Amino acid sequence: MQDKYDAKAVEQAVRRRWEERGAFAVKDDDPRPKYYSLCMWPYPSGDLHVGHLRNYSIGDVWARHKRMQGFNVLQPMGWDAFGKDAELKARKEGIHPAAWVESNTANMRRELRELGYMVDWSRELATCNPKYYRWEQHLFLRMWEKDLVYYSPTKVLWDKATGTVVARRDVDDGKVARQDVEVREFPAYQMRLRRYGEELLAGLAKIAWPEKIVKDQQYLIGRSEGMSIRFALEAPAAGLEEIEVYTTRPDTLMGVTYMAVHASHPLAAAAAERDPKIKEFCEQALQILPIDAGNADSEKNGVALDVRVLNPVSGEPVPVWVADYVIDDYGSGALMGVPAHDERDFSFARKYGIPIVRVNALPGADPAAPVEQAEVAKGVAVNSGPLDGLDLAGCVAKLEELLGPKGKARRDHNMSLRDWPINRQMYWGTPIPIIKCAKCGLVPVPDEDLPVELPLDVDFLKEGLASHPEFVNAKCPKCGADAQRECDTMDTFVNSAWYYARFACRDAADEMVAARAAPWLPCDHYFGGDEHAQGHLVYARFIHKVMRDLKILPPESGDEPFAALLCQGMVLGSDRKKMSKSQDNTVMAKDILERYGADTARMYIIGIGNPKDAYPWNEEHVRDHALFLEALWTLARERREQVAAGADAEPAAANGLALKRLQAAIDRNLKEQRFNNLVFGGIHSIRNLVRDNPEDAGLQHQGFAALLKTLNLIAPHVAEELWAGLGYEGLLIDASWWEPIAAAELQGDEQLYVVQVNGRKRDELTVAAGLGDEEVIAAARACANVARHLEGKQVAQAKVVRKPGGHGIVFFVAKG
RNA sequence: GCCGAGAUGGCGGAAUGGGUAGACGCGGCGGACUCAAAAUCCGCUGUUAGCGAUAACAUGAGGGUUCGAGUCCCUCUCUCGGCACCA
């Protein structure tokens, strides 16, 4: 051991030691039980930022702990290497995306290795490798065969400036100028996410995920219960005799004062042909994307059509409007307007002077009271003829009885989840294995022609794949005629929807997911940011189920890809704002890695606070951890002899008990994933205990062992070095965790009681453990300060409460 | 608007099923070592009153339940993150 702690030298030496012993290599056929711990892989943007540092440090605490508990732990790493940012960045700087990605991954791989994460690098994957994406094309083809991907036009936001499809977000964030954006109808390959909606919803009950993510996904799936109700047209129009609407509030049926249809509805289209004003309105309304039907507070616009429908119960006619707040592909693209009991309908009706009729009132409220604002709360029906006095469930039953036999109403349900358009008009992505033939239409590429390789010698600055004749021109696999390849590529969310499965059989040449992956799947624990709650995490769950149904996954892989999930909070800038380039408050992992080394960086980021919460960056606190490790090093050097001497000794009873209690606290914090408490409450406290009891050799030996085992989860290099320096056997990374500590072991031969009178602490009392309640109460009553507070009062109650962990409460309730 | 998280000393943050609020760290104060300083080590450190024992007040605000509330219930304020016209 060096005199002084030199982080860089220690870390290099220790990493070399791990490498020489192959400490990170993972075998599929290891006899230990398996544990698959995965962190969301990074987008290779150049350097690791401190958010990555946090994510991977948290994951590594868990993975190393599982390993020490005796599991064969798989913790792989790879690159989400395709994507728009690489392409845009490359365009801007004139570098090929492939070159950009390669240099970035090289850099980030080095940084990850320097951080000492327990990653089996022989399993590394990158989405831009043809050996990876060929299986994505394979999956696409299998889904195409089963109609799980289909081709249909959809509306998208088109950026005229760059000639690409852009996301709504990018416009909102100002990445794309508003005036350059228009809505275009585009052919799209869509995955049938909706078909799995019910299962995606039900599956949420089977996984240990944060409540927040579960709620977000439930909301995204948006399953609702209601009725579909048919309104007859007063006179047939556009070849229609009736319009069906879906509603979750059939109890407000008698309050319908208009009906609204989407601009693409046949009734609207027919009216547009007759009336130029309606035509103009419809054209404008069609510029609104379905996903963008707004902005909840944007104004609602509409035009009345010269059409009326009849209320199926009362037969009363109401006008039909075309309105821009109607969503094309939700329900039937038409809705019944009930201004009194729906916010949107209310503001629409207000604007156009449409009558507002109360048909619902909370119990006891005046049914004749005017409606001042939309009353959404569910009461009972009023002013509703046959429905009067019924609640929602009652109304549904009544309407079923009244209208059901005539086929005018039925119970129904709906989902707001949409199918998933996966093609992007980008070069840097997985080519879609489809050939477009003038005669045969869309023809899948035969399996033997996979992969459809993305050509690298492309002028991606201009037209991407379309400008590459050797790529574009192909023969139709069906009829042999000249045909063109599909030039769109896949959404990167497809790339990362199945990578967890491929990690388990990284180089399988003949199968997407080989049999040897079976023991690993599903993934036991996943770590990542909650920004993926509604994107990646839904797509991965969907693709897992699809792969299961297509028999791509081994049968034991389960219904869900990730059994447990931890979403770590953000690392904020030192100004407590979200880190961003524009705020100039970003911190890169290398800034701290170079200055202090990996162990200090990891110690800081784990100690920063509860993994789930967001914390601001604080450079001063980084230094504190560096100082701690230095002091620990010095202490360990001083104690080498005592540690060796204590190998066969037991600590003094009180010290042994104190150590056990700290270890129990460490176990609890690990179980609850409160990793920050491992640093201060755990490692620091054990350090203090051994530091303050130098004469207790047994404690030195056991205490340092426990300390280093815990430190191994967080600052593994220095822990490994001290482990060797203090003469412990073998590699620390291979050491086993201590046995779970039973509550009985935490009990000393003395018991501390806090004595309370009327709920206020009045004294402390230490007595031999094992005394009966009466003896303890008697002793408590005898405490001077307690006696003083009880004097002249009647003791109405006296009780002993024993808490686990060696303390208790004695309380007196005194009156008078 | 909806969903979620949060508010505890000068600061970061602890506190197991309601049971010693402020663990541990930083900073501050005092001391040791030193010619001196840095580093290191030791002690003290929520506020107020008191020489002291001790007492009162303290976990965003206000109520409630309880012998006892940071923790449970109700109302409110503020901060952060995500999602948003899904009939």
Residue A796: nearest nucleotide (C-alpha to C1'): B67
Clarify whether residues A238 and A353 are in a common domain: yes
Nearest to A252 by CA among A371, A123, A161, A76: A371
Q: d(Cα A298, Cα A627) in Å, to the nearest integer?
A: 55
Q: How far is the CA of A420 from the C1' of B64 (A)?
A: 50
Residue A330: nearest nucleotide (C-alpha to C1'): B86
Residue A688: nearest nucleotide (C-alpha to C1'): B24
Clarify whether residues A675 and A768 are in a common domain: no
**Is residue A114 within 8 Å of A68, Cβ to Cβ?**
no
pLDDT at A288: 64
Pairing relation of β-strands A149-159 and A164-166?
A: antiparallel
Clarify whether residues A386 and A248 are in a common domain: yes
**Is A788 inside a domain boundary?**
yes
Indicate the residue type of A433. Answer: P
Q: Is the CB of A324 under 7 A from strand B?
A: yes
Q: How far is the CA of A760 from the C1' of B57 (A)?
A: 14
pLDDT at A152: 86
Q: Is the CB of A759 under 7 A from strand B?
A: yes
Q: d(Cα A69, Cα A46) in Å, to the nearest integer?
A: 35
The CATH number of whichever domain residue A810 belongs to comes to: 3.10.20.590
Q: Which structural domain, as residue segments, surrounds residue A318?
A: 223-415
The CA-atom distances, in angstroms, between A99 and each of A26, A37, A94, A112, A430 are: 30, 30, 11, 20, 17
Q: How is A693-704 classified by DSSP, letter by letter?
A: -TT-HHHHHHHH
Residue A759: nearest nucleotide (C-alpha to C1'): B68
Task: List strand B contacts in A 510-569 (CB < 7 A).
Answer: 530-531, 533-534
The CATH number of whichever domain residue A721 belongs to comes to: 1.10.730.10
**Can you tell me which residue has its alpha carbon closest to the C1' of nucleotide B83?**
A216
Q: d(Cα A720, Cα A17) in Å, to the nearest integer?
A: 10
**Is A31 inside a domain boundary?**
no
Q: How far is the CA of A649 from the C1' of B38 (A)?
A: 40
Q: Is the CB of A62 under 7 A from strand B?
A: no
Determine whether A780 is exposed, middle or buried from the number of CB atoms within 10 Å of its CB (0-12, 13-18, 19+): buried
Residue A743: nearest nucleotide (C-alpha to C1'): B16
Q: Is the CB of A680 under 7 A from strand B?
A: yes
Q: d(Cα A264, Cα A237) in Å, to the nearest integer?
A: 15
Q: How far is the CA of A693 from the C1' of B16 (A)?
A: 28
**Can you tell me which residue has its alpha carbon closest to the C1' of nucleotide B2?**
A219
The CA-atom distances, in angstroms, between A345 and each of A23, A125, A224, A368 are: 65, 51, 19, 20
Q: How far is the CA of A5 from the C1' of B33 (A)?
A: 22
Clarify whether residues A720 and A774 are in a common domain: no
Clarify whether residues A457 and A393 are in a common domain: no
Strand, coil or helix: A207 = coil
**Is A209 inside a domain boundary?**
no
Task: List strand B contacts in A 192-251 (CB < 7 A).
Answer: 211-212, 215-216, 219, 222, 224, 226, 245-249
Nearest to A558 by CA among A548, A570, A572: A548
Torsion, CA A459, CA A156, CA A135, CA A195, rounded to 10: -170
Interval A284-312: pLDDT, tens: 887 765 545 445 556 788 999 999 999 99
Q: d(Cα A50, Cα A115) in Å, to the nearest integer?
A: 12
Of A388, A415, A442, which marks where a domain is finished? A415
Clarify whether residues A388 and A451 are in a common domain: no
Residue A451: cis peptide before it, omega within 30 degrees of 0: yes
pLDDT at A294: 46
Torsion over CA: A643, A648, A654, A660 (sign)? positive
**Is A770 inside a domain boundary?**
yes
The secondary structure of A338-370, three-state, reads CHHHCHHHHHHHHHHCCCCCCCEECCCCCCCCC
Residue A569: nearest nucleotide (C-alpha to C1'): B81
Q: d(Cα A512, Cα A700) in Å, to the nearest integer?
A: 52
Q: What is the mean pLDDT of each run of 10 residues along chain A (816 residues)?
A: 87 96 94 96 92 95 97 97 88 89 96 96 96 97 96 76 66 64 79 94 92 91 94 92 95 96 92 92 75 60 93 95 90 93 93 94 85 88 94 95 95 93 91 95 95 90 82 94 94 95 94 95 93 89 97 95 93 84 85 92 93 88 90 91 92 92 93 93 93 92 96 96 95 96 85 92 88 91 90 90 84 88
Pairing relation of β-strands A423-424 and A489-490?
A: antiparallel
Of A468, A487, A506, which marks where a domain is finished? A487
For residue A153, the tally of other CB atoms under 10 A from its CB is: 10
Clarify whether residues A693 and A640 are in a common domain: yes
Q: Is the CB of A758 under 7 A from strand B?
A: yes
Task: List strand B contacts in A 401-440 (CB < 7 A).
Answer: 414, 416
Q: Is the CB of A344 under 7 A from strand B?
A: yes
Q: How far is the CA of A575 from the C1' of B78 (A)?
A: 18
Q: d(Cα A750, Cα A790) in Å, to the nearest integer?
A: 26
DSSP classification of residue A428: S
Q: d(Cα A44, Cα A75) in Å, to the nearest integer?
A: 18
pLDDT at A171: 61
Clarify whether residues A291 and A326 are in a common domain: yes
Residue A616: nearest nucleotide (C-alpha to C1'): B12
Q: How is A366-396 classified by DSSP, letter by letter?
A: -TT---SS---S--EE-S-GGGTT--HHHHH
Task: List strand B contacts in A 765-794 (CB < 7 A).
Answer: 785, 789
Determine whether A258 is exposed, middle or buried from the number of CB atoms within 10 Å of its CB (0-12, 13-18, 19+): buried
**Is A311 inside a domain boundary?**
yes
Task: List strand B contacts in A 288-307 (CB < 7 A).
Answer: 290-300
**Is residue A66 within 8 Å of A733, Cβ to Cβ?**
no
pLDDT at A580: 81
Count the domains in chain A.
4
Q: Is the CB of A662 under 7 A from strand B?
A: no
Clarify whether residues A406 and A439 are in a common domain: no
- The overall average pLDDT reported for chain A is 91
For helices A97-114 and A7-20, what crossing angle results, to 10°? 100
Q: Is the CB of A172 under 7 A from strand B?
A: no
**Is A554 inside a domain boundary?**
no
Nearest to A41 by CA among A67, A86, A76, A84: A76
Clarify whether residues A409 and A475 are in a common domain: no
Residue A812: nearest nucleotide (C-alpha to C1'): B67
Q: How far is the CA of A728 from the C1' of B42 (A)?
A: 31
Of A743, A775, A797, which marks where a domain is finished? A743
**Nucleotides of strand B under 7 angstroms from a protein beta carbon:** 1-6, 12-17, 19-21, 23-26, 39-42, 54-56, 66-69, 80-87
Q: How far is the CA of A620 from the C1' of B23 (A)?
A: 22
Clarify whether residues A458 and A409 are in a common domain: no
**Is A802 inside a domain boundary?**
yes
**Is A374 inside a domain boundary?**
yes
Q: Is the CB of A682 under 7 A from strand B?
A: no
Q: Is the confidence metric ipTM above 0.90 for this complex?
A: yes
Token duo for residue A32 = 């230990």
For residue A546, the tally of other CB atoms under 10 A from its CB is: 24
Q: d(Cα A810, Cα A512) in Å, to the nearest integer?
A: 65
Clarify whether residues A387 and A240 are in a common domain: yes
The CATH number of whichever domain residue A355 belongs to comes to: 3.90.740.10
Q: How far is the CA of A631 from the C1' of B40 (A)?
A: 9
The enclosing H or E element of A559 equals none
Interval A251-273: pLDDT, tens: 999 999 999 999 989 999 999 99
The CA-atom distances, in angstroms, between A135 and each of A23, A140, A422, A677 are: 30, 8, 16, 43
